[in-house]
Amino acid sequence: MKINALICIGLLLMAKSCLGIKTDTKPPSANDTEIAPQLPAQIEGLETYMLSTHFTGHISNININTQKLPDAAPNDSLIEEIHIVNADVLETFIGTPIDKIEFKIITEENEIIQFENEAIISLCKSNGEFFWAGSGSVFPANYLFIQKATQIKNSQTANIVPSFCE
Protein backbone atom coordinates (compact mmCIF):
# COMPACT_ATOMS: atom_id res chain seq x y z
CA MET A 1 0.00 0.00 0.00
CA LYS A 2 2.82 2.42 0.90
CA ILE A 3 4.61 1.72 -2.38
CA ASN A 4 1.44 2.40 -4.41
CA ALA A 5 0.95 5.68 -2.54
CA LEU A 6 4.56 6.70 -3.22
CA ILE A 7 4.23 5.88 -6.92
CA CYS A 8 1.02 7.90 -7.15
CA ILE A 9 2.61 10.83 -5.35
CA GLY A 10 5.59 10.68 -7.72
CA LEU A 11 3.32 10.69 -10.75
CA LEU A 12 1.42 13.64 -9.34
CA LEU A 13 4.61 15.70 -8.92
CA MET A 14 5.64 14.96 -12.48
CA ALA A 15 2.19 16.00 -13.65
CA LYS A 16 2.60 19.32 -11.85
CA SER A 17 5.75 19.99 -13.83
CA CYS A 18 4.23 18.93 -17.13
CA LEU A 19 1.35 21.32 -16.56
CA GLY A 20 3.78 24.19 -16.01
CA ILE A 21 3.23 24.48 -12.28
CA LYS A 22 6.46 25.55 -10.56
CA THR A 23 8.02 22.79 -8.53
CA ASP A 24 11.42 21.82 -7.22
CA THR A 25 13.47 18.65 -6.95
CA LYS A 26 12.17 17.67 -3.50
CA PRO A 27 10.14 14.47 -3.14
CA PRO A 28 6.44 14.88 -3.87
CA SER A 29 3.96 15.63 -1.11
CA ALA A 30 0.62 13.96 -0.51
CA ASN A 31 -1.16 17.21 -1.46
CA ASP A 32 -0.30 16.92 -5.17
CA THR A 33 -3.49 15.94 -6.99
CA GLU A 34 -3.17 16.70 -10.72
CA ILE A 35 -2.28 14.08 -13.33
CA ALA A 36 -1.12 14.84 -16.87
CA PRO A 37 -2.10 12.30 -19.53
CA GLN A 38 1.20 12.79 -21.43
CA LEU A 39 3.31 11.75 -18.43
CA PRO A 40 4.03 8.11 -19.40
CA ALA A 41 5.07 9.23 -22.89
CA GLN A 42 7.44 11.83 -21.43
CA ILE A 43 9.04 9.25 -19.13
CA GLU A 44 9.45 6.90 -22.09
CA GLY A 45 10.84 9.80 -24.13
CA LEU A 46 13.45 10.51 -21.47
CA GLU A 47 14.75 6.96 -21.69
CA THR A 48 14.69 7.01 -25.50
CA TYR A 49 16.66 10.27 -25.67
CA MET A 50 19.12 9.19 -22.98
CA LEU A 51 19.95 6.03 -24.93
CA SER A 52 20.00 7.78 -28.34
CA THR A 53 22.20 10.86 -27.72
CA HIS A 54 25.75 11.59 -26.57
CA PHE A 55 24.90 13.55 -23.42
CA THR A 56 22.08 13.88 -20.91
CA GLY A 57 22.38 16.16 -17.92
CA HIS A 58 20.54 18.17 -15.29
CA ILE A 59 21.30 21.83 -16.05
CA SER A 60 20.67 25.15 -14.29
CA ASN A 61 21.68 28.83 -14.53
CA ILE A 62 20.76 28.72 -18.20
CA ASN A 63 21.79 31.69 -20.36
CA ILE A 64 20.90 32.08 -24.04
CA ASN A 65 22.67 34.35 -26.54
CA THR A 66 20.84 34.65 -29.89
CA GLN A 67 22.44 35.81 -33.15
CA LYS A 68 21.29 35.87 -36.78
CA LEU A 69 23.13 33.52 -39.09
CA PRO A 70 24.43 34.73 -42.45
CA ASP A 71 21.81 34.14 -45.15
CA ALA A 72 23.16 31.13 -47.07
CA ALA A 73 20.37 31.32 -49.67
CA PRO A 74 19.41 34.97 -50.28
CA ASN A 75 16.77 33.97 -52.86
CA ASP A 76 14.54 32.28 -50.30
CA SER A 77 12.75 33.82 -47.34
CA LEU A 78 14.35 31.59 -44.71
CA ILE A 79 16.46 33.42 -42.17
CA GLU A 80 18.00 31.38 -39.39
CA GLU A 81 19.23 32.24 -35.92
CA ILE A 82 21.69 30.46 -33.69
CA HIS A 83 21.02 30.29 -29.98
CA ILE A 84 24.16 29.62 -27.95
CA VAL A 85 23.15 28.18 -24.59
CA ASN A 86 25.47 28.13 -21.57
CA ALA A 87 24.54 26.37 -18.35
CA ASP A 88 25.86 24.76 -15.20
CA VAL A 89 25.62 20.98 -15.12
CA LEU A 90 24.33 19.75 -11.78
CA GLU A 91 24.54 16.10 -12.76
CA THR A 92 25.64 14.17 -15.83
CA PHE A 93 23.47 11.13 -16.50
CA ILE A 94 24.94 10.09 -19.87
CA GLY A 95 28.31 11.16 -21.26
CA THR A 96 31.51 12.51 -19.78
CA PRO A 97 30.82 14.31 -16.48
CA ILE A 98 31.24 18.09 -16.79
CA ASP A 99 30.48 21.15 -14.65
CA LYS A 100 29.48 23.58 -17.43
CA ILE A 101 28.11 23.11 -20.91
CA GLU A 102 27.63 25.15 -24.06
CA PHE A 103 25.38 23.95 -26.85
CA LYS A 104 23.78 25.37 -29.97
CA ILE A 105 20.24 25.46 -31.25
CA ILE A 106 19.51 26.67 -34.79
CA THR A 107 15.98 27.91 -35.52
CA GLU A 108 14.11 30.04 -37.99
CA GLU A 109 14.18 33.75 -37.25
CA ASN A 110 12.12 34.91 -34.24
CA GLU A 111 11.54 31.45 -32.78
CA ILE A 112 11.76 31.76 -29.02
CA ILE A 113 13.95 29.41 -27.04
CA GLN A 114 13.10 29.19 -23.33
CA PHE A 115 13.96 26.90 -20.46
CA GLU A 116 12.73 26.59 -16.90
CA ASN A 117 15.27 27.49 -14.20
CA GLU A 118 16.44 23.88 -14.34
CA ALA A 119 15.99 21.18 -16.97
CA ILE A 120 17.12 17.74 -17.99
CA ILE A 121 18.38 17.87 -21.56
CA SER A 122 19.75 15.34 -24.04
CA LEU A 123 22.28 16.64 -26.57
CA CYS A 124 24.28 15.46 -29.55
CA LYS A 125 27.98 16.10 -30.08
CA SER A 126 29.94 16.62 -33.29
CA ASN A 127 33.49 17.90 -33.76
CA GLY A 128 33.75 18.54 -30.03
CA GLU A 129 30.63 20.76 -29.89
CA PHE A 130 27.24 19.96 -28.37
CA PHE A 131 24.03 20.72 -30.22
CA TRP A 132 20.31 20.35 -29.59
CA ALA A 133 18.95 16.87 -30.32
CA GLY A 134 15.55 18.20 -31.47
CA SER A 135 12.02 18.59 -30.20
CA GLY A 136 11.27 16.44 -27.20
CA SER A 137 14.84 16.38 -25.85
CA VAL A 138 14.17 18.67 -22.86
CA PHE A 139 12.47 17.34 -19.73
CA PRO A 140 11.36 18.82 -16.41
CA ALA A 141 13.99 18.64 -13.68
CA ASN A 142 11.58 17.47 -11.02
CA TYR A 143 11.93 14.62 -8.58
CA LEU A 144 10.35 11.93 -10.76
CA PHE A 145 12.37 12.72 -13.90
CA ILE A 146 15.62 12.99 -11.92
CA GLN A 147 14.87 9.63 -10.27
CA LYS A 148 14.15 8.04 -13.68
CA ALA A 149 17.30 9.52 -15.23
CA THR A 150 19.36 8.25 -12.30
CA GLN A 151 17.80 4.80 -12.66
CA ILE A 152 18.63 4.73 -16.39
CA LYS A 153 22.17 5.99 -15.70
CA ASN A 154 22.75 3.27 -13.11
CA SER A 155 21.26 0.47 -15.24
CA GLN A 156 22.69 1.22 -18.66
CA THR A 157 25.78 -0.72 -19.71
CA ALA A 158 27.19 0.71 -22.94
CA ASN A 159 23.81 0.51 -24.67
CA ILE A 160 24.12 4.09 -25.93
CA VAL A 161 23.59 4.34 -29.67
CA PRO A 162 23.40 8.05 -30.58
CA SER A 163 21.00 7.43 -33.46
CA PHE A 164 19.29 10.81 -32.98
CA CYS A 165 22.61 12.52 -33.70
CA GLU A 166 23.34 11.14 -37.16
Torsion angle, alpha carbons of 89, 94, 96, 97, to 10: 30
d(CA 153, CA 25): 18
Is 65 part of any domain? yes
Higher-confidence residue of 30 and 160: namely 160
Strands 100-108 and 129-132: parallel
Enter the pTM of the model. 0.74
Q: Is the dihedral of CA 70, 74, 80, 81 positive or negative?
A: positive
Q: Do 113 and 105 meet the contact criterion of CB atoms below 8 Å apart?
A: yes
Structural domain including 51 reads: 38-165
Check if the beta carbon of residue 28 is closer than 8 Å to that of residue 10: yes
pLDDT at residue number 158? 55
Question: How much is the mean pLDDT over the chain?
Answer: 81
Q: Is residue 18 part of a domain?
A: no
d(CA 57, CA 146): 10
Question: Does residue 156 belong to any structural domain of this protein?
Answer: yes
Give a yes or no: residue 80 inside a domain.
yes
| pLDDT of 47 higher than 70 | yes
Mean pLDDT over 52-72 rounds to: 93
pLDDT score at 166: 83
Confirm whether 29 is domain-assigned: no
Residue 5 is assigned to a structural domain of this protein: no
Q: What is the DSSP letter of 157?
A: S
State the pLDDT confidence band at 132, using cuts at 50, 70 and 90: very high
What is the pLDDT at residue 2?
37
Let me know if residue 76 belongs to a domain: yes
Q: Which amino acid is at 46?
A: L
- The answer to whether position 1 is within a domain reads no
39-50 helix and 2-18 helix, angle to the nearest 10 degrees:
80
Average pLDDT over residues 28-53: 74
Amino acid at 105: I
Tell me the percentage of the chain whose pLDDT exceeds 90: 54
Cβ burial, residue 142 (10 Å; 0-12/13-18/19+)? buried
Whether 60 has a pLDDT exceeding 70, the answer reads: yes
Looking at the structure of the chain, the number of domains it has is 1
Distance of CA 20 to the CA centre of its chain: 15
pLDDT at 11: 39
